[in-house]
Amino acid sequence: MPDLAHGDDHDVADDLDIEQPLALVRYLRQTGRIAPGEVPVVRTLPGGVSNRVVLVERPGGEAWVVKQALAKLRVAVDWFSPPERIGREALGLRWLTRLAPGSTPRLLFEDPAHHLLAMAAVPQPHANWKTLLLGGPPDPDHVAQFGALLGTIHRRGHAARRELEPVFADRSYFESLRLEPYFGFAAEREPAAAAFLAALGAEIRQHRLTLVHGDYSPKNVLVHAGRLVLLDHEVIHFGDPAFDLGFSLTHLLSKANHLPAHRDAFAAAATAYWRTYRDTLGAAPWTAGLEPRAVRATLGCLLARVAGRSPLEYLDAAGRDRQQAAVLALIAEPPCTVPDLVRGFIARLSGR
Ligand SMILES: Nc1ncnc2c1ncn2[C@@H]1O[C@H](COP(=O)(O)OP(=O)(O)O)[C@@H](O)[C@H]1O
Ligand SMILES: [Mg+2]
């Protein structure tokens, strides 16, 4: 156990590593975030791939999460991304609090020089929604909240576009962490889908409609007291809402593939998710063409999560092959609606 009560007489290092408890406590004291003699309990949280994520429990009972962006992601292949993206996450936290109050943790402070921010910790007990889903079947209320939250972000993001577009116009993180590794890499691996993926990437780049989270995954959702809390906003940008739909529907449908005992429940959840989203979004003219584009984005993401740079870890080789074959059959003539996509995907998984 490091002695957190001592060691204050160093300057804050430029290469501060918040996973080093002594260094983090020294930093929090020297920057006046905590009192000079205060001794918090600090613990690294698991699950961070592109960030260091540390829980700080203060003696008064308050709990913070400090998040520091890494330049090199913790994945099997070499994958780099500028750590300045933590600034994007802080902007995301600020704006999501305005657009969808109570759905994200409160931002406490940010420090661009050390590529970190601090937010309120989601209180215990809480569960990661991905963990709950892998235990199946999905809770319909959680699914409805997931759809309503995305619909709210997209609807209000579009309404506030004059303010939002200039703030979130840069899409370089979205390009390097999503479009290239998902669609670009999968296109190289799967030539039969290359033209489809290139066209999909082009149409996603073309549509600049609203605030897009970019990482709208059950893994980035905690469930506390029955409410969903959304985390991890580093690829948020102004762009095409079809991407968030494709990315998130992929998680529900890949679990339908992975968990045959709950296949029908996950299929129903995917359709219910879409309906709640659409009812929350409303039928404004700017949403024309969104549903078929969301279907294509889902097909692209379903393929990318078995043939891209970031494959789903829970699918085995047979599961990956099943998913790939189903997608390749469907991209020949993509369905126009989400319910048709769900039916077609499930039928091909089950050999029906
Ligand atoms: N505010 C928070 N409260 C509680 N746990 C959190 C909070 N922020 C992150 N975590 C935990 O840390 C994990 C990784 O955080 P995340 O922001 O998703 O980082 P990464 O970008 O590396 O994926 C989350 O899955 C969650 O378990
Ligand atoms: Mg995450």
Q: How confident is the model at residue 309 (pLDDT cuts 50, 70, 90)?
A: confident
Mean pLDDT to the nearest integer, 48-55: 93
CATH (domain of 256): 3.90.1200.10
Q: Return mean pLDDT, the chain.
A: 95
Mean pLDDT of 108-121: 98
Q: Give tens-digit pLDDT for 176-215.
A: 999 999 999 999 999 999 999 999 999 999 999 999 999 9
Where in the sequence is the domain holding 259, given as residue range(s)?
126-349
Cβ atoms of 198 and 187 closer than 8 Å: yes
**Distance (Å) from CA 231 to ligand 2 centroid:** 7
Ligand nearest to the CA of 127: 1
Q: What is the three-class DSSP state of 182?
A: helix
User: Tokens standing for 33?
Assistant: 């975030």
Which ligand lies nearest to the CA atom of residue 222 in the structure? 1
Confirm whether 6 is domain-assigned: no
Predicted TM-score of the model (pTM): 0.95
Q: Look up residue 6 and give its DSSP letter.
A: S
CB of 217 within 8 A of CB of 247? yes
Residues 158 and 212 in one domain: yes
Span from the CA of 98 to the centroid of ligand 2 (angstroms): 21
Question: Residue 226 domain-assigned?
Answer: yes
CA of 91 to the centre of ligand 2 (A): 17
Residues 235, 135 share a domain: yes
Tell whether 158 is covered by a domain.
Answer: yes
pLDDT in tens, 14-25: 789 999 999 999
**pLDDT level of residue 9 (50, 70, 90 thresholds):** very low
For ligand 1, atom 17, the nearest C-alpha belongs to 232
Shortest-distance ligand to the CA of residue 67 = 1
Distance from Cα 197 to the centre of ligand 1, integer Å:
30
Q: Which residues are near ligand 1 (CB < 6 Å)?
A: 45, 47-51, 53, 65, 67, 105, 119, 121-122, 128, 220, 231-232
Phi, psi of 229 (to 5 degrees): -120, 125
Distance 43 CA to ligand 1 centre (A): 12
Q: Is residue 44 part of a domain?
A: yes
Domain limit, last residue, from 120, 139, 159: 120
Same domain, 93 and 53: yes
| Residue ID of nearest Cα to ligand 1 atom 22 | 48
Take residue 263 and report the two structure tokens written for it. 């296949």
Burial 87-115 (b: 16+ CB within 10 A, else e): bbbbbbbbbbeebbeebbbebbebbeebb
Domain boundary among 56, 90, 120: 120
Q: Are residues 114 and 131 in the same domain?
A: no
What CATH number did the domain enclosing 105 receive?
3.30.200.20
Instruction: Answer yes or no: do 82 and 188 share one domain.
Output: no
Are 45 and 184 in a shared domain?
no
Residue among 347, 348, 341, 308 nearest 325 (CA): 348
**Does residue 13 belong to any structural domain of this protein?**
no
**Does the residue 11 lie in any domain?**
no
Domain boundary among 120, 153, 184: 120
Residues 114 and 150 in one domain: no
Does 303 lie in the same domain as 205? yes
Tally the residues of the chain. Answer: 352
Query: Are 160 and 67 in the same domain?
Result: no
Q: Is the pLDDT of residue 8 over 70?
A: no
Number of compact structural domains in the chain: 2
Sheet holding 221-224, edge to edge: 126-128, 221-224, 227-230
Of ligand 1's listed atoms, the one at least distance from the Cα of 232 is 17
One domain for residues 98 and 82:
yes
**Measuring from atom 18 of ligand 1, which residue has the nearest CA?**
232
Is residue 10 a part of any domain in this protein?
no
Q: Residues 64, 31: contact at Cβ < 8 Å?
A: no
Please report which ligand is nearest the Cα atom of 106.
1
Are 204 and 96 found together in one domain?
no
Q: Are residues 59 and 187 in the same domain?
A: no
- Look at residue 109 and tell me if it is in a domain: yes
Residues 6+ away with beta carbon under 8 Å from 175? none
